[in-house]
Copies of this chain bind each other. A is one copy, B any other.
């Protein structure tokens, strides 16, 4: 990968550029942070013409490395006002790698409301009018684009949420089955794409990747070793393929960290009904299944296909976070309801985490009662229809919560907390508070951290720091975060280091690898500081410090000063 594709939405010009040497060690999230710092005014309006939308495969995307097909998408977030990177599986990153594209950088914006799409193939790239697809949501759009361009294309697209500028809007990517089920979900990047007037990117390419290696044989050996490490790990090798991420429901509920009824308690009495075990049971009854890979080369296959009661495909990638935020957090225990919500979110282009948290504050406001699944679907329908209230909800939890007069709003930097209550899983709470991304579990979840007790104060800042650095390093490589559980074994870190060395050359060790994570986080913090953020923004909602969780009586007791001082980037 040695080219940047610059796309100017004002002039409709596209330009392939050779990549300078100083970008060599950056990919994915790190490359986004570098480009954003070099090219984008941190104080710009996220939905204005000065923001950029940047899509970067990871440094190892397109290689033989397992689980290396993550696509990082970034820009300045209209939800948080911070720098934002959201990465996504599906087929797009590997198709970009086949084209030698290290980044697609979308600049400027349309003067009017007309929509364009970007078609990229081995012959080049062009922006063409996409008016005929305007107003389509992602499933219908994918179907129409497959009809027009063939079934082999990869699609990166927005639904109506992105077109309408919802601050809770995703960019969806098609999976190996061609469904737009994968989401670069967090931070409203769909609205950035929509504001630019870009409805979709079509990747029309086939054939093998032309990945270059410094030492191909060594890479192959290291990749095989790393694959074995991932497969040998109990979580990534057994639990995730067997039960998907939903396996976490029972464990997190037992910890008292399962967000329930708008983060008012950490355990849900009907947790069993939304558990991984229950999900597997439904699959066996209806012909859905776990064990799906969202991209070629995945050796974990944590994804699933969820069928409706008639046995027809309803949605794919029904994940733990989706289940909890839209399930227990709303007092809902019907996986069918939750799966419908997931489908509607993928279709419209909404982050399921943000959506569930938004519905939670609606319930707290008394708009509907906790447990009202049909009510949740009605609210999703309002978002889909674009009613006035639906548009409000589409702006995310903090805005909707404020508009509804809700006092308990579970957000950091304007972004909803994920499916771990920080009072019972404090290291993840530190990550929510201090990550440059706003509340985000993928920025450094400590649920697997060893040697710390989740509900005690001790060691959480260190655990979060280590997790944040590890995640940032993996996000640089385009490697799925679910491989990280195997990094508890030093030899697996060694295999990862060997892959990077064999790919880019030079001498690498673990310190150098993790230093890329630290560099990435530092660049992100520089951007945020210039955007006006300070350490004062690194805090959890006030109620997390004052309301203890029923049962456990856990409270979040790590003060902002204690977090800031300890984090070395």
A residues with CB within 8 A of B: 42-45, 47-48, 50, 164-165, 167, 388-389, 391-392, 395, 399, 402-405, 407, 530-534, 536-537, 539, 542, 560
Contact = CB atoms under 8 A, between A and B. Distances in A.
A78 to B, nearest CB: 9
Q: Which DSSP category, helix, strand, loop or mixed, fits chain A's interface? A: loop
Contact of A403 (B44, B403, B530, B539): B403
B542 A531 contact: no
Given A389-B388, A395-B402, A399-B402, A407 B48 contact: yes
Copies of this subunit: 2
B392 A392 contact: yes
A509 B292 CA distance: 80
A44 B389 contact: no
A292 to B, nearest CB: 36
A391 B407 contact: no
Contacts of A537: 532
A531 B542 CA distance: 13
Q: Which of A48, A399, A530, A537 has the most CB of B within 10 A?
A: A399
A414 to B, nearest CB: 11
Contacts of A539: 43
A537 B405 CA distance: 25
B399 A542 contact: no
A534 to B, nearest CB: 5
B560 A402 contact: no
Contacts of A534: 532-534
A91 B247 CA distance: 65
Contacts of A392: 392, 403
Q: Which 10 A-B pairs have the closest CB atoms?
A: A532-B536, A45-B542, A392-B403, A165-B405, A532-B534, A532-B537, A395-B403, A48-B542, A395-B402, A534-B534
Contacts of A43: 536, 539, 560
A165 B405 CA distance: 6
Contacts of A407: 45, 47-48
